[in-house]
Structure 1
């Protein structure tokens, strides 16, 4: 039997790159459909994990399908390691895909599921099975080699799907909501395992998700897509600290406003002024976490806080081990408080409250 290293060498090589072309992924994906247009530009270096993050209907899956060749481009380009792939059929692209529901073949064992990809790329049966066995061992699944998908746990099925995608030696790995089918407890373990495997992958990985935690933990860089367009990109820390749309702010748990700064005062576009620590001039964003908001049922006597607004409780919901109050009024915002504090304030929908935020707990940055 040929060993896995020999099997890997015998697999067909990916399309030849231009001799001086840049490595990694360079793409502009334009896809027109009735009532919707996707137009996003993506770039990632070898070894980088890129996450496409956005609400339902933003175009994330369309972008993934365009990268895989399952949805044709209306315009744009797609280069991988310098090779143009726009007109390359899906089966000939050096691309591995892990679908949301994994799409394992129910009649094949875990071993033969993983061997399927190398077989399609021209490897012999023995070679493909040897390569598959090596990947299952790497994934910690050697004991499950003869197991059919229906007898695998969710986490095991996800790892088999990942092994199947990696066994073809792809230069681009696509993951479509790879943790969505898992329960909360399994998700924690599998997320950690997946992070380790992606860190070892030497080519480009693109992860599609609407879960901010998956994106923050797994990706080196985030690309946020809304309505078919890129609205923000950067490292997870940059995105979390400086959100630029309401969707992103909600995602990372911040109150976000836009206005015009003059020194330490920001006059909001649709609301009152906010006093900030930063001294800026011109269009800015102002953000602060719901935990920075303090609520009072009556206007606090002798309050020195400059950021003081009269509001009304629009709704209450459990948020982790706290209560999140959605407020309307002079400044719509979200406030987090303990269950005890909410009870002592007798908070209920329609109740009037005063909200304060210290300037030191705000964060202003150029828009």
Structure 2
């Protein structure tokens, strides 16, 4: 065994002994979830996927709210498969926070320690310390209805952390916040997760939340893991249409022979990558240049005749949905879209330089 193999084997053994080691199999009618997750203490995993992929089912299985029909769940070497939810060293932050409306922020946070046997005075002392860490000391006496969305989210996080969990689960923790509050709370959450010494699992549909907060992404579709890895690796090399859309890339599959990739359905794409065999080829919508007439002097090696299927605002740009020789998305400024007279049904020529494409093994 090589040194690399030895290192990998040692880390995997450490994960099994000290962190999270799970294979979550859940059968619910015609749907089957079969997802493996592993993480070392201090890791933050983000689980992403389209609606109905099984993200929330996986999180609820980790929490013990949905029983496993197969697989296993071990945390720090301890089997939790049959451990009731209230006895698991697991803290949960739900999407809607689920704070007790009749309790103050302080007593909401103190609830967990009280359930774990702490005296009322000790539980409130611990809760006060957590609210101080969350910059919420002045809101300790406030009921949830008097808290802003960002404040409620931080109270919910403090309540989850107050039991000192060995596994922290966050279910769309920023989804209920407006855009400005989300920006601030995301930065605060990142800081708190960086200080968390155990395993954290974040379920989200927002790629920015995942990229900012997580060390590793696990993408599931139809109840199965389709890709996992570091955020940067997944952003550079998506392997499904869902992931490509998530990170904002046009993605195709084909067969490469040198610098040419013949797509499974469509034309060939020229790339600067020298590859062979089954590959994916990707390029960002911003690398696409559009013309109303076939360009004569363009240096781009890739040229396709397309039709505008739709237009929508995308940030401060216009995204054109194109069909034809090669279905693709193109981003351009509002001024450029107006000058081109783009509208649904218009014929355009799309070019992409070979240097702006990226081909990699499928």
TM-score bucket of the superposed structures, by smaller chain: over 0.9
The reply to whether residue 127 of structure 1 matches residue 122 of structure 2 is yes
Matches within 5 A, 1:164-183: 164-183=159-178
Q: 1:21 to 1:57 in 2, by over 3 A?
A: closer
Q: Which residue is 1:58 aligned to?
A: 53
Q: 2:347 aligns with which of 352, 357, 363?
A: 352
**More displaced 10-residue stretch of structure 1: 62-71 or 297-306:** 297-306
* TM-score of the superposed pair, with normalisation by structure 2: 0.95
Paired with 2:163 and 2:15, the residues of 1 have a C-alpha distance of 25
Measured after TM superposition, the shift of residue 175 of structure 1 is 0.2
Alpha-carbon RMSD across the aligned residues, in angstroms, is 1.3
- Name structure 2 gaps, 5 residues minimum: 1-12
Matches within 5 A, 1:234-313: 234-313=229-308
Q: Which residue is 1:106 aligned to?
A: 101
Matches within 5 A, 1:1-367: 22-367=17-362
Measured after TM superposition, the shift of residue 302 of structure 1 is 4.2
**Residues 15 and 38, structure 2, Cα contact 8 Å, conserved in 1:** no
Q: Deviations over 1:97-151 (max 9, x none)?
A: 0000000001000000000001111111111111101101011111111111100
Q: Deviations over 1:255-274 (max 9, x none)?
A: 00000000000000000000
**More displaced 10-residue stretch of structure 1: 259-268 or 297-306:** 297-306
Measured after TM superposition, the shift of residue 34 of structure 1 is 1.0
Measured after TM superposition, the shift of residue 305 of structure 1 is 2.7
Partner SS, residue 38 of structure 2: strand
Partner SS, residue 179 of structure 1: coil
Paired with 1:138 and 1:31, the residues of 2 have a C-alpha distance of 37
Paired with 1:185 and 1:306, the residues of 2 have a C-alpha distance of 42
Q: Which residue is 1:14 aligned to?
A: none
Q: Deviations over 1:153-179 (max 9, x none)?
A: 111100000000000010000000000
Q: Deviations over 1:272-323 (max 9, x none)?
A: 0000010000000000000100001111124443200010000001111111
Q: Which residue is 1:15 aligned to?
A: none
- Structure 1 stretches of at least 4 aligned residues deviating more than 4 Å after TM superposition: 18-21
Tell me the number of residue pairs that the alignment of Structure 1 and Structure 2 aligns.
350
Partner SS, residue 95 of structure 2: coil
* TM-score of the superposed pair, with normalisation by structure 1: 0.94
Partner SS, residue 301 of structure 1: coil
Measured after TM superposition, the shift of residue 347 of structure 1 is 0.6
Q: Deviations over 1:21-75 (max 9, x none)?
A: 6111000000001120000000011000000001111100000000000000000
**More displaced 10-residue stretch of structure 1: 336-345 or 193-202:** 336-345
Paired with 1:146 and 1:291, the residues of 2 have a C-alpha distance of 50
Paired with 1:183 and 1:317, the residues of 2 have a C-alpha distance of 22
Paired with 1:306 and 1:168, the residues of 2 have a C-alpha distance of 59
**Residues 299 and 353, structure 2, Cα contact 8 Å, conserved in 1:** no
Q: 1:302 to 1:19 in 2, by over 3 A?
A: closer
Paired with 1:192 and 1:50, the residues of 2 have a C-alpha distance of 17
Paired with 2:105 and 2:15, the residues of 1 have a C-alpha distance of 40
**Residues 250 and 328, structure 2, Cα contact 8 Å, conserved in 1:** yes
